Amino acid sequence: MDIPSQVLAQFVLISAIVLITAYYLHSISLYTSFLRERELEVAAYKIERQILEAVNEAIKSKNKIVRNAMIGSLYRGKIINWNGYSNLSLSEGDMVKEIILPATIGLEGSEDTIRITYKPTSFATYNVMIIVEYIEKEKTVNVQLG
């Protein structure tokens, strides 16, 4: 085998090794990003479930309900936005969302509101306190004198 063909064979071998390694590393990074996205989805689902349970309790008891949720350090300020109930960014501090009940659950004639407040309690472990309050709208009565 002469020198140019040996160099060409080495080049082809090294190129094949580089391509296989790059493909392998790319596959690993895709799989890792898929797992992180799935984990974020699961965390969002757990928080949404806690919020919905707290909202149901608040509607039944017409009181304030407090829940604690742990998001985990993986998310580091990522926004969880799931079905419009939770829109949570721990880097922004407290966040308040109000839901007017007739628009949400189809009650006619009521203007009562559910206020959901998110308060970060620990930035190290990304714990958050979820406060759900049932707020009855003040009813006004028109009186005609005469």
Query: Where are the chain's structural domains?
Result: 3-135
DSSP 108: S
The candidate with the shortest Cα–Cα distance to 130, out of 49, 65, 84, is 65
Q: What are 75-111's pLDDT values in tens digits?
A: 444 444 444 444 444 445 556 666 666 545 555 555 6
Paired tokens of 125:
């472990």
Q: What are 8-27's pLDDT values in tens digits?
A: 999 999 999 999 999 999 99
Can you tell me the distance from the alpha carbon of 19 to that of 32, in angstroms, rounded to the nearest whole number? 20
Question: What radius of gyration do the chain's Cα atoms show?
Answer: 27
DSSP assignment of 26-71: HHHHHHHHHHHHHHHHHHHHHHHHHHHHHHHHHHHH-SEEEEEEE-
